[in-house]
Amino acid sequence: MPVQTANPAIQRVDWVDYAKGICIILVVMMHSTFGVEAALGEVSWLNGFIEWARPFRMPDFFLISGLFLAARIDRPWRDYLDIKLVHFAYFYILWMTIQFGLKGPGMVAENGAASAALFYLESFIEPFGTLWFIYLLGVFFVITKALHRVPVTIIWLGAALLEAATIETGWMVIDEFASRFVYFYTGYILAPYVFALAKWFGARGAVVLLGGLGVWAVMNGYLVAGGYAILPGISLPLGLVGTAAVIALSVLFARTSFMDWLRYCGQHSIVIYLSFFVFMAASRIVLLRLGIVSDAGLVSLMVTFAGVLGPILLFWAVRRTPLKFLFERPALFRITETGRQQPAKVYPAE
């Protein structure tokens, strides 16, 4: 059973780590599959699963990210900004610069140094590549605290309307905020009910949970295949129900040690998110050039494996070296005196 306390925000909760593990693997799999398909010019058999997971893949990640906010939101603004804005800004800028360093030479060769430099500067307002999730988290945390005194019903209804509006301005921050904030805010305001739901799932038998998950999986697949999953009024409930399904599955996994590797991935989900692109791109290039495996779906799975395992190995390799700044924010980049006494790591659940 998950670790539960009167205030679940204080300690790690097993099922949360499993849920994050599920989410991060789905995210890596999505990017890996699309990258392989683009390189080969064909659609793989894995694409159907990627589309099936679309309704809940990112909603689940954002909702869980908001679960523990209640324990922090009443902190003074300076402390709050340090842990909820500067923290994510540090890792975003660091890894955005690393990504740019890898992709920049190609940009310079194709469009010139001035264009590449402008693109780098634009990345401070328009999230760079796969790092948009990290960027948006900081935005969500700040906006939620700024609106802390506004009645939650008004905020939630406004966020739900934004999600239903399917806003497409071409600016990622605006578009993703509109479609994702409702999930983050739902996790924040309904955290006690989410933990209660997980506890209720924990009291059910495995057969009952698996039966319910089977019904949901078919329903989700039907709505996706029929093109209904993206419709206003359907996408939000489908995302919330999908998140509940991931929680139920995570509660099942938490009952056994067989899936401990998934929990570990969840505990280090941001480590994986920050650096998976390096291992994903490298493994894709190597596998496609070798040509030993020709099936696009199988190549995508192999690239996914590399994209998940590579960051973990990198984390282990640097965590006690001067390179630990890759996953641990140095005291120099803290804005509070107490924060400077203890460097902030990127991988705790909060």
- Listed in sequence order, the DSSP H helices in the chain are 14-40, 47-65, 77-81, 87-111, 113-122, 132-146, 152-164, 172-189, 191-202, 206-225, 235-253, 260-267, 269-290, 296-318, 337-340
Number of Cβ atoms within 10 Å of the Cβ of 288: 18
The pLDDT, as a whole number, for residue 49 is 96
| pLDDT beyond 50 at 137 | yes
The neighbouring-strand residues paired with 344 are: 329
Lowest-pLDDT range of 10-19, 41-50, 106-115, 257-266: 10-19
227: in domain: yes
Average confidence score pLDDT of the chain: 91
| pLDDT beyond 60 at 7 | no
pTM over 0.85? The answer is: yes
Confidence tier at 3 by pLDDT (50, 70, 90): very low
The neighbouring-strand residues paired with 40 are: none
5: in domain: no
The pLDDT, as a whole number, for residue 13 is 81
Compute the C-alpha angle 140/216/229, nearest 5°.
55
| pLDDT beyond 90 at 105 | no
| pLDDT beyond 90 at 5 | no
Containing structural domain, residue 303 = 14-345
Confidence tier at 1 by pLDDT (50, 70, 90): very low
| pLDDT beyond 80 at 334 | yes
7: in domain: no
| pLDDT beyond 90 at 108 | no
Contacts of 232 (CB under 8 A, 6+ apart): 164, 165, 166
The pLDDT, as a whole number, for residue 129 is 83
What's the sign of the alpha-carbon dihedral 326, 330, 336, 340? positive
Q: What's the average model confidence in pLDDT over 315-334?
A: 94
243: in domain: yes
Count of structural domains, the chain: 1
350: in domain: no
Identify which has the larger pLDDT, 184 or 205.
Answer: 184
58: in domain: yes
9: in domain: no
| pLDDT beyond 70 at 47 | yes
136: in domain: yes
